[in-house]
């Protein structure tokens, strides 16, 4: 069965893909080349070469300041994901979800329900961190947020593999339908 996708769903899908990709990039950069210690070490070394000595703590503060604009994008994209999730829920309410009789599609719909729950939890935990209402539980909320985020990034990899496999099966043209609504 060749599933058709509404224009509102396709727009939602690609905006969600862009937002999630942006979140992934900001996380990877934050944990690698844009890590506060990495940047701080570079700044400390270069300043020492110019005759200025700073402490490790000062270097980390500079590292945080340098990467702050990039991290602002993580926040903006996270808020976009939360808004897009509300849009997706509205689409589900309007159009229904998961009533296909095909057993494979029933499994797919169950997986997507899990993904939407995870997106909800990630959005809520991100907003709690943004509004600084976690209190003494900040580390727990950060951990939950991080683990959910990585599980969603794993889902994205599985999703892409599934799309490739679908294109090689009786669902060829899936990507075309998701881009322009027709094959």
119-159 per-position pLDDT tens digit: 999 999 999 999 988 888 999 999 999 999 999 999 999 99
CA dist., res. 146 & res. 152, Å (int): 10
Q: Per this entry, what is the length of the chain?
A: 183
- 15, pLDDT greater than 90: yes
Long-range contact pairs involving 25-30 (C-beta distance under 8 Å, separation at least 24): 26/70, 26/71, 26/73, 26/74, 26/77, 27/74, 27/149, 29/67, 29/70, 30/67, 30/70, 30/71, 30/74
Average pLDDT of the segment spanning 30-59: 92
Assess contact for 154 and 146: CB atoms under 8 A: no
Task: Look at domain 7-180 and name its CATH class.
Answer: mainly alpha
Q: CA 21, 116, 118: angle at the middle one, nearest 5? A: 75
| Percent of the chain whose pLDDT exceeds 70 | 96
pLDDT tens readout for residues 72-101: 999 999 999 999 999 999 998 888 765 667
CA dist., res. 111 & res. 172, Å (int): 21
Assess contact for 19 and 81: CB atoms under 8 A: yes
pTM for the predicted model, two decimal places: 0.86
Average pLDDT of the segment spanning 36-58: 92
Which residues, other chains included, contact 6 with Cβ-Cβ below 8 Å and sequence gap of 6+?
Answer: 91, 95, 181
Long-range contact pairs involving 129-136 (C-beta distance under 8 Å, separation at least 24): 130/75, 130/78, 130/79
Which residues, other chains included, contact 60 with Cβ-Cβ below 8 Å and sequence gap of 6+?
Answer: 36, 37, 40
CA dist., res. 45 & res. 42, Å (int): 5
CA dist., res. 27 & res. 49, Å (int): 31
Rounded mean pLDDT of the chain?
90
């Amino acid at each position: 069965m060749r599933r058709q996708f509404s224009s509102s769903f396709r727009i939602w899908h690609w905006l969600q893909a862009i937002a999630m990709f942006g979140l992934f990039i900001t996380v990877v950069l934050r944990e690698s080349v844009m890590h506060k210690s990495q940047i701080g070490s570079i700044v400390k070394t270069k300043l020492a070469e110019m005759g200025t000595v700073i402490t490790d703590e000062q270097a980390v503060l500079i590292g945080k300041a340098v990467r702050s604009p990039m991290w602002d994008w993580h926040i903006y994209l996270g808020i976009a994901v939360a808004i897009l999730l509300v849009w997706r829920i509205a689409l589900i309410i309007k159009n229904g979800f998961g009533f296909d009789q095909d057993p494979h599609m029933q499994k797919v719909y169950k997986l997507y329900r899990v993904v939407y729950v995870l997106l909800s939890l990630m959005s809520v935990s991100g907003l709690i961190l943004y509004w600084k209402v976690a209190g003494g539980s900040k580390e727990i909320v950060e951990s939950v947020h991080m683990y959910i985020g990585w599980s969603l990034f794993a889902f994205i990899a599985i999703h892409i593999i599934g799309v490739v496999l679908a294109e090689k099966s009786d669902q060829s043209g899936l990507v075309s339908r998701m881009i322009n609504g027709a094959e």
